[in-house]
Amino acid sequence: MAYTFPTVELSAAPSSADVNDQKYELGAIAKTEDGKVYRYVQCDVADAVDWAAGHPVGYVLGGTTWECSADFSDATSLMPVGIATATVDVSAYTDGTDTVYQWVQIGGLASVTGHDGNIANGKYVVWHDDGTVDEAAVGADDVESHYIFGQVVSGGSTTALTIVLMQTM
């Protein structure tokens, strides 16, 4: 029997997190009329890096299924899962009793912050550091080339970039 991901219809782009109220099945996929695609995940609030809309997030090393972190050093193999759609101040959840969920963008055009102003339009990007992307150093033997998740379509040579996401897992 084949498995299919649960899908959800959203009337607008998501922009808020759900605290202690899981509204959708983890891993669910949604699409909006503008062609953007989203996945519902659990936010890792145990680390020190806040979530911010437009920042890359990745799967937590050793975390539960669909648990993601905004902390570059905490993410599995530096593999981004998508772009955060809501801001989460992790310091508000230090007692460990709260669970936070949100949609992350995994497809379509997304606004992101470049590490520096040296990424030209048309270049591929990888998750670089907490909150930023950088140009991928593409090469046959370059490990980083395996983590490409978007291509710059506008804003090249500035830090305010628009990329088209290459849908990740």
Which DSSP string corresponds to 51-68?
B-TT-EEEEETT--TTEE
Residue 115 domain boundaries: 111-165
Which phi and psi (to 5°) does residue 90 adopt? -65, -25
Is residue 2 included in any domain, yes or no? no
Q: How many domains does the chain have?
A: 2
Is residue 134 included in any domain, yes or no? yes
CA–CA dist 92, 132 (Å, integer): 23
Output the pLDDT for position 142. 56
CA–CA dist 6, 16 (Å, integer): 20
CA–CA dist 163, 56 (Å, integer): 12
Last residue of a domain, one of 64, 83, 107: 107
**Both tokens assigned to 138:** 């593409």
Note whether 60 and 138 are same-domain residues: no
Per-residue pLDDT of the chain (169 residues; tens, 9 = 90+): 566 666 788 889 999 999 999 999 999 999 998 989 999 999 999 888 999 999 999 988 777 789 999 998 877 656 788 999 999 999 998 777 889 999 999 999 999 999 988 899 999 998 888 999 998 876 655 555 568 889 999 988 889 999 999 865 5
Note whether 18 and 75 are same-domain residues: yes
- The helices-and-strands tally (H runs, E runs) of the chain is 0, 12
Instruction: Identify the bridge partners of residue 37 per DSSP, sorted by sequence position.
Output: 31, 107
Is residue 1 included in any domain, yes or no? no
Are the beta carbons of 102 and 86 closer than 8 angstroms? yes
CA dist 98 → 10, 69, 85, 94, 163 (Å): 25, 15, 19, 9, 33
Note whether 101 and 123 are same-domain residues: no
Note whether 59 and 126 are same-domain residues: no
Instruction: Identify the bridge partners of residue 119 per DSSP, sorted by sequence position.
Output: none
Note whether 98 and 53 are same-domain residues: yes
Note whether 78 and 129 are same-domain residues: no
Distance of CA 133 to the CA centre of its chain: 11
Instruction: Identify the bridge partners of residue 18 per DSSP, sorted by sequence position.
Output: 101
Are the beta carbons of 153 and 121 closer than 8 angstroms? yes
